[in-house]
Amino acid sequence: MEVCSSDGFNFNVTLREFGCEQSLLSRPDGSSSFIQGDTSVLAAVYGPAEVKVSKEIYDRATLEVVIQTKVGLPSVKERSQEQCVRETCEASLLSSLHPRSSLTLILQVLHNDGSLLSCFLNAACMAFMDAGLPMSCLFCGVTCAIAMDGQVITDPTATQEKESRALLTFAIDSTEQKVLMSSTKGSFSVHELQECIAISQKASEKIFQFYRESVQRRYSKTL
Amino acid sequence: MRDTPLSNCERDFLLKAIEEKKRLDGRQTYDYRNIKITFGTDYGCCFVDLGKTRVMAQVSCELVTPKESRPNEGIMFFNLELSPMASPAFELGRSSELLVKLNRQLERCLRNSKCIDTESLCVVSGEKVWQIRVDVHMLNHDGNLMDATSIAAIAALSHFKRPDVGIQGDEVTVYSAQERDPIALSIYHMPICVSFSFFQQGTYLLVDPCEREERVMDGLLMIAMNKHREICSIQSSGGIMLLKEQVLRCSTIASVKVSEITDLIAKALENDKKARKEGRKCGFAESMPQERITALKNLETTVEMTDLTKQASDIVEGVETPAEMALSPVVPAPGVGQVGAGLQNAWGLEDEEDDEDEEEEEEEDGDEPEVTIVAEKRGNKKKGERPVVIISDSEEEEVVILNPESS
């Protein structure tokens, strides 16, 4: 994977090979699997469905996100990732169209080789599209890692993440390329933050193009 | 979330069809659905598709102290999870009857049958042994979870390789996968569970029930057997009464099915071993079907980044520097302390400055403008000459400040 230097004007960063399959599970209303390099995640959406009275909101749908790892019980780290994903989804789903209903998103880690949070976000968006839930915009996740020498790497693998000085994940929306959510780890300067946001916005264009192509392919026989 | 209840007409239709020896998907009475076994990227990860039922098993290992009653045997730990993904009826954390039943059956099938040599898992007798942990996740519930689980578990255990261990005197060294090749577990035999569902008080029998058939069945008979025709466990649930001949007939059918499934597992393991030896990439990513219309794959792409550094620098320079921060607390008069004097008021501001040094994880949610907005200057609150800042919103006409007596 190429890296970009931080003081040149013409440089490129790469995104790993990514793939997606929709509607692969028969029980959930929407399901998708998203693969970024070796990292793969399975997402399933149920909804709008019945909600428990204790959890119902009178004017919106209640969104619940569950992240399941392969081994062991979920820890605080999974809970914080769930919060990140939930907040992004709440920002883009039109939940006021389904009051007193529940939307459940379940994410299962199939293999973790870095950039897990952005893979969660991408899988979630594709699963929402597969379920046909109304959204005001699509969203995607991009992870940037800043190596010890200041180079910025997008979509890092697990080894690259471990050797990096900072790890930043941004959720970008499709209409105006705004940042919906950011989750960072490590220390970095103001300039590096802005650079990473700009890089993520540029990278998100590729991911949105991929979304469009896969939906186009999916409905090519019917439309 | 609750599962949709089964309607009476559906139930009657299913039962009537079974009486006429017809199944919903056109199978015969003793037919299994299509079984597909794939392995993940790392050792010990196995996906099993039994028709539309999907199950994933992951095996991992850890060094622990052994049980006191068995100081030189390793420990096997099974954990089955009914993910809410598999069915809307499954709720996270709720220990349902089905979960207990499946867990117990898996333990009986694999642990009590002694299919894994636990003595070979001992490292230092009485102090350190390997604990092999099998986690099974249900991904999609379309009936017959037990069979799929047992196939996935035993395939994952056969696929798994534990790290090599070296013992020199008192020192134990665990070698990583790069230093020394990992070692496979020693498996004596492969017990596989076969499920039989009974209808109309044991009159009709079906092998490998799908989800609809499971809902209308009277009882279930699970036989765990290996290819040497040894029965590892039998469990009958649902309260049906079976005749001796029926049980014997089921075990004969089971032995046929088990040998077919064992061959399938062996072939899948062979294929995986060959693929790894040839250096081909293995895993879920590779096994994704390409020709399906619902799947799409993109190769590695580069992102063009011309002028982005310049854009980033412009943004950073455009932001006004924040006001000078005063050392706090400031003591303008004896007995009065003041913190945060002369700062811009950031409360109630939608725009935020982006000049914080993040040392710990930070989350910002909601719709924020992507690049940082220039922070508005709200410097109209010059606190100037007054020694004490009035913070209250009091609607009294006159505010009297009580100054301490100057000493």
Q: What is the ipTM of this complex?
A: 0.88
**One-letter identity of residue B73:** E
Rounded distance, CA B202 to CA B216, Å?
13
Contacts of B285 in chain A (CB under 8 A): 19, 35, 37-38, 40, 111
Which residues of chain A are within 8 Å of residue B292 when distances are taken between CB atoms? 21
- Amino acid at residue number A22: Q
Do A187 and A174 form a contact (C-beta atoms < 8 A)?
no
Choose among B1, B52, B307: nearest Cβ to A102.
Answer: B1
Is A198 in CB contact (< 8 Å) with chain B?
yes
The shortest C-alpha distance from A148 to chain B (Å) reads 15
pLDDT at residue B177 is higher than 60: yes
CA distance A214 to A177: 20
Asked which of B2-6, B130-134, B138-142 is least confident by mean pLDDT, the reply is B2-6
Average pLDDT over chain A reads 90
Residue B386, Cα to own-chain centre: how many angstroms? 61
Partner A, chain B 5-34, Cβ-Cβ below 8 Å = none
Residue B299 contacts A, CB cutoff 8 Å: yes
The predicted pLDDT at position B406 comes to 56
Q: Which residue has the tokens 């907040």?
A: A87
pLDDT at B336: 74
Percentage of chain B with pLDDT > 70? Answer: 76
CB interface of A with B, residues 83-112, below 8 Å: 83-84, 87-88, 91, 102, 104, 106, 108, 110-111
Distance in Å, alpha carbon of B189 to nearest chain A alpha carbon: 25
**β A152-154/A102-111 pair status:** unpaired
Interchain proximity B83–A35, CB inside 8 Å = no
User: Would you call B356 helix, strand, or coil by DSSP?
Assistant: coil
- Structure-token pair, residue B19: 């009486």
- Burial class from Cβ neighbours inside 10 Å (0-12, 13-18, 19+) for residue A75 reads exposed
**H or E element in which residue B17 lies:** helix B8-19
From residue A89, alpha-carbon distances to A19, A126, A133 in Å are: 21, 12, 11
B312/A196: higher pLDDT? A196
**pLDDT, tens digit (0-9, with 9 covering 90-100), for B63-77:** 999 999 989 899 999
Q: Determine contact, residues B79/B138, Cβ cutoff 8 Å.
A: no
Q: How many CA atoms lie within 13 A of B107 on its CB side?
A: 12
- Mind telling me how many Å the CA of B50 is from chain A's nearest CA? 12
Q: Do A197 and B362 touch (CB under 8 A)?
A: no
Instruction: Tokens 């622990």: give the residue.
Output: B64
Q: Do A110 and B40 touch (CB under 8 A)?
A: yes
User: Given its phi and psi angles, is residue B359 left (phi above 0), alpha (psi -120 to 50 degrees) or beta?
Assistant: alpha
Residue B171 CB burial class (10 angstroms; 0-12, 13-18, ≥19): exposed
First to last CA, chain B: 71
What residue type is A99 in one-letter code? P
Whether chain A has a CB inside 8 Å of the CB on B284: the answer is: yes
Express each pLDDT in B281-320 by its tens digit: 777 766 676 777 778 877 777 776 666 666 777 777 766 5
Q: Which of A132-146, A162-176, B45-59, B267-281 has the lowest mean pLDDT?
A: B267-281
pTM of the model: 0.82
Q: How many other CB atoms sit within 10 Å of the CB of residue B136?
A: 26
Chain-centroid distance, C-alpha B289: 22
- According to DSSP, the residues that pair with B193 across neighbouring strands are B224
- Report residue A183 as tokens: 């989750």
Retrieve residue B377's tokens.
């200057």
For residue B9, pLDDT over 80 is answered with yes
- Which structure tokens are listed for B87? 């069915």
Please list the helix, strand and coil fractions of chain A in percent, rounded to the nearest 5, in that order: 35, 35, 35
**Tokens standing for residue A147:** 């190596």
B395 burial (CB, 10 Å; 0-12 / 13-18 / 19+) is exposed
- Please tell me the least confidently modeled range out of B26-40, B177-191, B380-394: B380-394
Q: Which of A159, A138, A183, A147 is nearest to A16 (CA)?
A: A159
Q: Do B306 and A9 count as a contact with CB atoms less than 8 A apart?
A: yes
The predicted pLDDT at position B404 comes to 73
Tell me the CA end-to-end span of chain A in Å, nearest whole number: 38
Extract the tokens encoding B354.
Answer: 């982006």
pLDDT at A221 over 90: no
Sign for the CA dihedral angle at B383, B386, B389, B393 comes to: negative
Residue B375 has what pLDDT? 36
- Measure CB to CB from residue A38 to each of B283, B297, B312 and give the nearest one: B283
Residue type, position A17, single letter: E
* pLDDT tens sequence across A147-192: 998 889 999 999 999 999 999 999 999 999 999 999 999 999 988 8
Q: Is B315 on the interface with A (CB under 8 A)?
A: yes
Nearest chain B residue (CA) to A203: B303
What lies within 8 Å, CB to CB, of B65 at 6+ separation is B127, B128, B129
Rounded Cα distance, B247 and B213, in Å: 20
Query: Whose CA is closest to B13, among B22, B3, B5, B1?
Result: B22
**Of A16, A24, A100, A178, which to mutate for an interface test with B (greatest number of B Cβ within 10 Å)?**
A24
Chain center to CA of B38 = 17
- Return the closest-CA partner of residue A185 out of A111, A113, A120, A117: A117
User: Residue A7's pLDDT is what?
Assistant: 44
Cβ pair A113, A71 in contact under 8 A: no
Helix then strand count (H, E) for chain B reads 6, 19
**pLDDT above 80 (res B323):** no
Whether residue B87 has pLDDT greater than 70: yes
Nearest to B305 among A4, A50, A87 (CB): A4
| CB spacing of B371 vs A197 below 8 angstroms | yes
- For B257, list phi and psi in degrees, rounded to 5: -65, -40
Average pLDDT score over residue span B359-378: 37
Query: Minimal CA–CA distance to B132: which of B181, B187, B175, B210?
Result: B187
Of the partner residues A18, A38, A203, the one whose CB lies closest to the CB of residue B303: A203
Residues B220 and B205: their CA atoms lie apart, in Å, by: 10
> Residue A9: is its pLDDT beyond 70?
no
Instruction: Supply the pLDDT for residue B209.
Output: 93
Kindly list the distances between the CA atom of residue B23 and the CA atoms of B200, B203, B210, B220, in Å, as whole numbers in the listed order. Answer: 15, 15, 10, 17
Strands B301-304 vs A12-15: parallel, antiparallel or unpaired: antiparallel
Closest CA to A156 of A200, A94, A125, A108: A200
Judged against a pLDDT cut of 60, whether residue B365 lies above it is answered with no
